Amino acid sequence: MGESAVPLASGPSDPSGSTGEALLSVRGLTKHFGTNVAVDDVSFDIARGGSLAIVGESGSGKTTIAKMVVGLLAPTSGTITTCGHDRSTPARGAAERRRRGAEVQIVFQDPYSSLDPRQSGASAIDEVLALHRGGSSADRALRVAELGDLVGLDDRQLRALPKALSGGQRQRVAIARALAAEPQLLILDESVAALDVSIQAQVLNLLADVRADTGVSYLLISHDLAVVRQITDDVIVMHRGVVVERGATRDVLDHPQAAYTRLLRASVPTPGWRPRRRSEWTDAPDLSDVSDVSAG
């Protein structure tokens, strides 16, 4: 369906109208893997300081979008603009790469695979500071401690190797490292999914605080609609590479218009939920059966 020309206005103060220059602007973004169309003509905006969630079942194209926005994957077609700079084609040279890194950073689900096992958090953060900020090693050490403070890591934890840290602590290192580049946009791809509930709550509170303190914008990918509700102002719902619904998070989650969004919401366990056998299902067919996903 023709989704491409509709910008998603975001920003807490103006959920419906346009808010001047977008921090991130994505238009007609498409990615083919061979014959598989993973992302099909997706468009959205994130305002400065805004936050957008991408939700949708496994394989709907969420991570592929994130990787294109951060620059780990080249789009088949479409444009990605941050702060007015195009980033849909490969960076030319180190300076351009550095500038792009200062605009967008990403934190993945599993910090263990994205952190170097031989490098302490302090050293990983320092490396990013040296690249993006420069300054003396004493200045940088001060900043490492500040960032540690921001994400709740003490000196001992900062000096430890990843294997000596808990999952939540490793994710804090990954977040601090991403923030060291002082990005305008932080992409969080299932970044709290692997954490147990209490640690998850801590990291979510941390993210809310960081946003309030620094004005960073978030692009949050999560299958957890409670997390989406807590962190984001706006949401897009993806199904098979296509945006099937978009709007203010509260509206979309409370009053979903698209059949697919209703199914997605119905498939999320809530308190009192008990698993049912497939033969008991009357109201919620398998999500993969949904072929008519018109947003009306």
Ligand X SMILES: Nc1ncnc2c1ncn2[C@@H]1O[C@H](COP(=O)(O)OP(=O)(O)OP(=O)(O)O)[C@@H](O)[C@H]1O
Q: Which residues in this chain contact Mg ion in the complex, by CB under 5 A?
A: 63
Work out which of 1, 21, 36, 215 binds ligand X, going by CB under 6 A: 36
Q: What is the rounded distance in angstroms from the CA atom of residue 101 to the CA atom of residue 75?
A: 18
Classify strands 185-189 and 217-221 as parallel, antiparallel or unpaired: parallel
Question: Phi and psi for 127 in degrees, rounded to 5?
Answer: -60, -45
- Residue whose CB is less far from Mg ion, 10 or 109: 109
Q: What is the rounded distance in angstroms from the CA atom of residue 279 to the CA atom of residue 5?
A: 42
Burial class of 285 by CB neighbour count within 10 A (0 to 12, 13 to 18, 19+): exposed
Q: What is the rounded distance in angstroms from the CA atom of residue 79 to the CA atom of residue 30?
A: 9
Rg (CA), the chain: 20
CB of 38 to ligand X, least distance (A): 3
CB of 39 to Mg ion, least distance (A): 12
28 binds, among ligand X, Mg ion, none (CB under 5 to 8 A by kind): none
The residue count for binding ligand X (CB under 6 A) is 11
Q: Is 78 in the site for ligand X (CB under 6 A)?
A: no
Q: Is 63 in the site for ligand X (CB under 6 A)?
A: yes
Q: Is 60 in the site for ligand X (CB under 6 A)?
A: yes
In sequence order, which ranges of 31-108 are alpha helices (DSSP H)?
Answer: 62-70, 94-103
Q: Is 38 in the site for ligand X (CB under 6 A)?
A: yes
Work out which of 28, 59, 152, 167 binds ligand X, going by CB under 6 A: 59
CB of 240 to ligand X, least distance (A): 9
CB of 242 to Mg ion, least distance (A): 16
Residues 127-146 that bind ligand X (CB under 6 A): none
Q: Is 64 in the site for ligand X (CB under 6 A)?
A: yes
C-alpha distance from residue 27 to each of 74, 92, 152, 230 (Å): 14, 22, 37, 27
Q: Is 61 in the site for ligand X (CB under 6 A)?
A: yes
| Binding characters for ligand X, 15-34, by CB under 6 A (x = yes) | ------------------x-
- Residue whose CB is less far from Mg ion, 48 or 239: 239
Q: Is 270 in the site for ligand X (CB under 6 A)?
A: no
CB of 67 to ligand X, least distance (A): 8
**Three-state SS at 46:** strand
Sequence-separated (6 or more) residues with CB below 8 Å from residue 286: 278
CB of 72 to ligand X, least distance (A): 10
C-alpha distance from residue 181 to each of 98, 102, 187, 200, 228 (Å): 9, 5, 13, 23, 25
Total Cβ atoms within 10 A of residue 16: 8
- Residue whose CB is less far from Mg ion, 63 or 105: 63
Q: What is the rounded distance in angstroms from the CA atom of residue 62 to the CA atom of residue 190?
A: 10
Q: Which residues bind ligand X (CB under 6 A)?
A: 33, 36, 38, 56, 58-64
